[in-house]
Each structure stands twice: as C-alpha cells, then as structure tokens.
C-alpha cells in the first residue's frame, strides 16, 4: 500500500492524472473516505484525464453514470445503498467484462463483491484547522492511500509505484 500526503486539491488532481496513465478497459477503481474527503474531486479529475469533456458530477442520486473518453467509463456512487442486492443490480461485473473502466465512490461497501482485482484509493482529511472557506477552495491536506489488489494490476504495479514516488514521499 502506498501512503502519502496530498497538500491540496491540486495534488488530488495530479494524483488522478498520474494514475489515469495506468488504467485500462475492465479496471475497477474503488474510492473511499468520509464525506468531503476528496472522492468526487479525484473522480472528476480522473475522468477528465481520460478524455471526458462533459460536465462530471457525483452520481449520488442516479447511482451510476456513463461517460465516453479514451474508453467507456462508468462512475458510480453507492453512498445511499445499504442493501448489497442493490449493488448487484448495478451490474458492475458485466460492465467490467464489457471493457468499461468503473470508478465507484464509497467503494469500500462493495469490497469482496466485485472481484479480486481493483485499485482502492482512500482519502482522509488530516488538516482540522482549515476554515470552511479554505476547505471549499481545496486547501485542506489529505492522507491518501493507494492499495493495488489482484493479478489484473500485476504488470502495472511497479510503474504506478514509481510514478507516484517521483511526485510524493511515499510511506
């Protein structure tokens, strides 16, 4: 697991851009963290880095939204889902089999349901002395953790870790 500090929302965007170079069709990205931790900022930046030009919003109420960029990307938000059967109804495994890149906010709820290979990106706010205005402006620090799990990413792990390590001090 890679762990490092993101100084502000610009760092979150840079992390998304960096990881986007390593993602391909059929990959699953799970985003975790409390409300306001940076999941949607990361997802929006990731999709933009992958060539999505339309407005990207969190699909909290529609649950899943498809975008076309360099590849087909499905962005899901399962915050409001409490029943695991509802997650199954989103047909995530079928989307992955069809070659879609799937990005899921609140992805920790789906751990173990969607296969054995995924990239989990977790965010935790660590700057408690930031004002609401600074928070909205993206000035709050966050601890980011990237867990690369499963055989699907085996050939990409070393390069991902190297690219992240060139930018941030990784623990």
End-to-end Cα spacing for the chain? 8
Taking a C-beta distance cutoff of 8 angstroms, is the pair 79, 105 a contact?
A: yes
pLDDT value for 57: 87
pLDDT value for 169: 85
Which is nearest to 73 in space by CA: 50, 100, 98, 53? 100
pLDDT value for 171: 67
pLDDT grade for 157, boundaries at 50, 70 and 90:
very high
Does 131 score more than 70 pLDDT?
no
pLDDT grade for 97, boundaries at 50, 70 and 90:
very high
Does 135 score more than 80 pLDDT?
no
Average pLDDT, the chain: 91
CATH class given for the domain over 2-82+98-118+137-167: alpha beta
Looking at per-residue pLDDT, the higher value among 60 and 26 belongs to 26
In terms of C-beta density within 10 A (0-12 exposed, 13-18 middle, 19 or more buried), how is residue 34 classed? Answer: exposed
Phi-psi region of 101 (alpha: psi -120 to 50; beta: other; left: phi over 0): beta
> How do the domains of the chain map onto residue ranges?
2-82+98-118+137-167
């Amino acid at each position: 697991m890679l762990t490092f500090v993101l100084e502000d929302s610009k760092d979150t965007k840079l992390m998304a851009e960096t990881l986007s170079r390593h993602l391909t069709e059929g990959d699953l990205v799970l985003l975790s963290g409390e409300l306001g931790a940076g999941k949607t900022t990361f997802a929006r930046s990731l999709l933009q880095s992958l060539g999505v030009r339309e407005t990207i919003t969190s699909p909290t109420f529609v649950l899943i939204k498809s975008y076309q960029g360099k590849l087909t990307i499905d962005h899901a938000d399962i915050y409001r889902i409490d029943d695991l059967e509802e997650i199954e109804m989103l047909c995530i495994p079928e989307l992955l089999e069809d070659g879609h890149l799937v990005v899921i906010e609140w992805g920790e709820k789906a751990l173990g349901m969607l296969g054995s290979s995924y990239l989990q990106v977790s965010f935790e706010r660590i700057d408690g002395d930031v004002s609401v205005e600074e928070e909205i402006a993206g000035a709050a620090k966050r601890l980011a953790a990237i867990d690369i799990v499963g055989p699907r990413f085996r050939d990409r792990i070393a390069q991902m870790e190297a690219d992240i390590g060139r930018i941030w001090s990784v623990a």
